Amino acid sequence: MNIKSPAARLLLAATASIGASLAQPALAGPEEQAAQIHSRITGVKPSVATLTQMAELIAADKASDAAYLAMQSDAFYNVTLKNLVTPWTSRDGDNFAPLNDYTATVIGMVRDDEDFREILSGDILYTGASGLGLPAYSNSNNNHYIELENSGYPLQTALERKTQSSVTGLPSDATAGVITTRGGAKAFFYAGTNRAMFRFTLMNHLCRDLEQVHDTSRPPDRIRQDVSRSPGGDSRVFQNSCIGCHSGMDPLAQAFAYYDFVYDVDNDPTGENGHLDYNSAGETDPATGTRVKAKHHINSATFPYGFVIPDDKWDNYWREGPNMHLGWSSALPGSGNGAKSMGQELANSEAFAQCQVTKVFEQVCLRAPEDQQDRNQIDSITASFTGNGYRLKQVYADTAVYCAGE
């Protein structure tokens, strides 16, 4: 090629321009950012009118307002939030579990900009709105929510805020947000010793499984009788392994001493028609002689000298030692009675706030935090979350704006 010809010089200039643009990608414009924000928040494309309005807000340096506009889509509630919450409602993290009162309550709280800490302590329940022709809420089945989901009603408008105490009959001081919903009870108060409720609450709302809070330096005085002190005949296993989880978990899980999920083991082994049962003041369990449910005293012969639960008093031994770095609130005493106050202990930790932000980040950005810039952004969004009333919609807005140019 004759590089002195005008055509050759133009070709070389164009090639250089293309190479430069590939080496240094241009930032996405307002329309592209608007489309990205809407897609990440809702999972669907915006209408032309919505896209235009969002782009105008972004061009006016109001990207957060554009994100809130995207959250007006029904898909944010029926798809995005439902996909976030549904895995929290079962032991196997089933993404396709049916709608239930646990899921609906979280979605409703986000819609109404409720303080998100209340999901672990509030006397709150969201049901389908009256007038929709749904079966009545039942303590013994999930038909109300199954019909709500099958009918295709938009959850943004179909959910109605109520109190658990007025709908389920549970005493208000025994309510603890999603912990005491029927869906939560069916999944985590089912059989066992109620330790599952503590473990999965820790996993779903503090982003820690027991391995991440393992601490063998805490005193073992509250570990129950059903835990062997010499598994397989070797006491070192208990000292180096079992104690690391149970010494902290058992004093906290004692908050659930008066709860059980009751079902017909023979004819309904999965508890589809079971119900949450709570021993109120004055009620006595025939097996224990106290308000404590019998399940908390099972396998007592394993180590007869172990701790016998007398009531629902809990203590947080993790306020000292390595787990103090979960950021427990200095405004709380670190002990109390029942699930409500224990839920407040967990929800007021720094780990709780950071967990919610990280989950939203991974859902909206379609990736985990990768570098220091991402980690700094997580910290910034967490500070905004805790400083502005724990509103999860704000977390979605801040995260979507951060990832809009990707």
Contact between 126 and 162 under an 8 Å Cβ cutoff? The reply is yes
Please spell the DSSP secondary structure of 294-326, one letter per residue: GGGGTTTTSSTTSB---SSEEE-GGGSSGGGGG
Handedness of CA 132, 268, 182, 275 (dihedral sign): positive
Which tokens belong to 211?
A: 């391995």
- Residues with Cβ within 8 Å of 30's Cβ and at least 6 positions away in sequence, in order, are 55, 56, 58, 59
Q: Distance between CA atoms of 155 and 195, rounded to whole angstroms?
A: 32
Contact between 170 and 283 under an 8 Å Cβ cutoff? The reply is no
pLDDT at residue 27, as a whole number: 55
Per-residue pLDDT of the chain (406 residues; tens, 9 = 90+): 444 444 444 434 434 433 433 333 345 799 999 999 999 999 999 999 999 999 999 999 999 999 999 999 999 999 999 999 999 999 999 999 999 999 999 999 999 999 999 999 999 999 999 999 999 999 999 999 999 999 999 999 999 999 999 999 999 999 999 999 999 999 999 999 999 999 999 999 999 999 999 999 999 999 999 999 999 999 999 999 999 999 999 999 999 999 999 999 999 999 999 999 999 999 999 999 999 999 999 999 999 999 999 999 999 999 999 999 999 999 999 999 999 999 999 999 999 999 999 999 999 999 999 999 999 999 999 999 999 999 999 999 999 999 997 7
Please spell the DSSP secondary structure of 109-166, one letter per residue: HHHTT--GGGGGT---EEEEPTTS-PPPP-SS--HHHHHHHHTT--HHHHEEEE-HHH
If we measure between CA atoms, which residue out of 360, 358, 350 comes closest to residue 386?
350
pLDDT at residue 28, as a whole number: 75
Q: Distance between CA atoms of 363 and 357, rounded to whole angstroms?
A: 10
Contact between 278 and 258 under an 8 Å Cβ cutoff? The reply is yes
pLDDT at residue 20, as a whole number: 37
Q: Distance between CA atoms of 276 and 186, rounded to whole angstroms?
A: 8
Contact between 244 and 216 under an 8 Å Cβ cutoff? The reply is yes
Look at residue 149 and give its three-state secondary structure. helix
Q: Distance between CA atoms of 275 and 279, rounded to whole angstroms?
A: 13
Q: Which helix (H) or strand (E) holds 127?
A: strand 125-128
Q: Distance between CA atoms of 122 and 164, rounded to whole angstroms?
A: 9
* Torsions phi, psi for 161 (to 5 deg): -80, 130
Q: Distance between CA atoms of 219 and 255, rounded to whole angstroms?
A: 18
Q: What is the pLDDT of residues 289-306, one digit of tens each?
A: 999 999 999 999 999 999
Which tokens belong to 304?
A: 């007869």
What amino acid is encoded at 204 in this protein?
N
Q: Count of alpha carbons within 13 Å of 236, Cβ hemisphere only?
A: 0
Q: What is the pLDDT of residues 79-91, one digit of tens each?
A: 999 999 999 999 9
Question: Quick one: how far is CA 371 from the chain centroid?
Answer: 24
Q: Distance between CA atoms of 10 and 3, rounded to whole angstroms?
A: 9
pLDDT at residue 405, as a whole number: 75
Q: Distance between CA atoms of 220 and 250, rounded to whole angstroms?
A: 9
